[in-house]
Structure 1
């Protein structure tokens, strides 16, 4: 844990392979593949993600500099993962970008986000989604559970040639395993696409909040209304992560 109480990955949990699936392995992003994973995320996630595509179509695309800084900020948490195809010379098949929210320092990401000037409209929408949400308190039966660190997924990209093979599901399963191992108690994410929403709900997470795209106004204009169809709403989805059993 950092001096402010913010999350720091324990040295006792080294970078490793978290999941094997078909011919793929899902692992912590190696230092020597950070640039490749950064470009993959730019080329795939930011091209396909509904909010980003709306900004681009309206001549409000993010700057390359801000995109790279956004990704760099998340990579510094040392919790992002990639999927590689061992049957194809370890070709990069997918990436999931992760950062960590900490109860002792709940606003530590805001200053970095605010510096991304070309992404300020995206940040404003994400802050709107956060309103009224407690990322650190969850229900377990009739009890309330408070956690110190929460996995906050910032996006997931899969190469077009690998889509439809379950890579997204494998990346999410692996990031949950990693999150538990490094001391996170829950996951809470903003999912903007019906496809990503379906994948995370299959992992046993639950809907926490929903924001219809035609309900969010910018200067009186429903800027994202054109996303419906096929995307009617943005959904906040999360829940407690299964903790390992400890011997008595």
Structure 2
């Protein structure tokens, strides 16, 4: 059975709060009313920079874009995605987010997707899953999985990515989840993950994906890392 969060009057909960230069920053549950803006941020600030999205040319295929947005919206329905806001005076701006879902034993990755480019991305996910059973490796029955972390370009450099990764811990503890797992595809993201206490459990090169029959450059030696953090 898919994971379902019980919502009460405390939703959306605030998981982190801090102040800098007169501005108040919060990381909280993404509310339904901000889902459209969140999708827009993902398309404009994540897809043009994320290595696998670039290699799969997802933005060049309207059908793939539609399918990708559908996947994000399904994640939003679980009400466990994290949103970072900055408040300056009377203005409140969504500046970063982490699209999250929960993987449970028995869950299966959807293989019936539209868009040729998105199909290759989905087959990539299946290949990685074939290399490592995450839940069995971590000895847990469920784990928080990320489907994209993004910071608006004009707010980068403020360590908001690290803040979002750290906010997973109180969220997971509240939900009774003992581990989180992410696929980090860029060197910068991998370094941020290490600083945030994540450890690598699987490494796969783009070249290996090509050799496995997926549509990637044959001589691309960049490394994808699946990294995890447990909450005891």
Alignment partner, residue 68 of structure 1? 69
Alignment partner, residue 92 of structure 2? 90
1:102 pairs with one of 76, 101, 104: 104
Alignment partner, residue 37 of structure 2? 36
Aligned pairs (5 A) from 1:81-160: 81-87=82-88, 89-103=91-105, 105-107=106-108, 110-111=109-110, 114-118=112-116, 119-138=118-137, 146-160=139-153
Q: Is the 8 A contact 1:214 1:222 kept in 2?
A: no
SS in 1 for 2:147: strand
Question: Which range is displaced more, 118-127 or 62-71?
Answer: 62-71
Question: Which range is displaced more, 27-36 or 194-203?
Answer: 194-203
Question: Which range is displaced more, 51-60 or 34-43?
Answer: 51-60
Given the superposition, is the C-alpha separation of residues 79 and 57 from structure 1 closer, same or farther in structure 2, using an over 3 Å criterion?
closer
Which deviations, in whole Å up to 9, do the C-alpha atoms of 1:143-171 show, x marking residues without a partner?
A: xxx32220011110100110000111111
Q: Post-superposition shift, 1:97?
A: 0.4
Alignment partner, residue 182 of structure 2? 189
State yes or no: 1:236 paired with 2:226. Answer: yes
Q: Is the 8 A contact 1:29 1:80 kept in 2?
A: yes
**How far, CA to CA, are the matches of 2:59 and 2:66 in structure 1?**
19
Given the superposition, is the C-alpha separation of residues 55 and 18 from structure 1 closer, same or farther in structure 2, using an over 3 Å criterion?
same
Q: Is the 8 A contact 1:50 1:192 kept in 2?
A: yes
SS in 1 for 2:5: coil
**How far, CA to CA, are the matches of 2:13 and 2:154 in structure 1?**
25
Q: Post-superposition shift, 1:67?
A: 2.4
Given the superposition, is the C-alpha separation of residues 14 and 148 from structure 1 closer, same or farther in structure 2, using an over 3 Å criterion?
farther
Given the superposition, is the C-alpha separation of residues 201 and 116 from structure 1 closer, same or farther in structure 2, using an over 3 Å criterion?
farther
When normalised by structure 2's length, the TM-score is: 0.87
**How far, CA to CA, are the matches of 1:221 and 1:77 in structure 2?**
30
SS in 2 for 1:130: helix
Q: Is the 8 A contact 1:55 1:61 kept in 2?
A: no
Q: Is the 8 A contact 2:205 2:220 kept in 1?
A: no
Structure 2: stretches of 5+ with no match in the other structure = none
**How far, CA to CA, are the matches of 1:219 and 1:135 in structure 2?**
20
**How far, CA to CA, are the matches of 1:8 and 1:57 in structure 2?**
29
Structure 1: stretches of 5+ with no match in the other structure = 140-145, 243-248
Number of equivalences: 225
Q: Is the 8 A contact 1:50 1:227 kept in 2?
A: no
When normalised by structure 1's length, the TM-score is: 0.81
Given the superposition, is the C-alpha separation of residues 169 and 120 from structure 1 closer, same or farther in structure 2, using an over 3 Å criterion?
same
Aligned alpha-carbon RMSD (Å): 2.5
Q: Post-superposition shift, 1:219?
A: 7.8
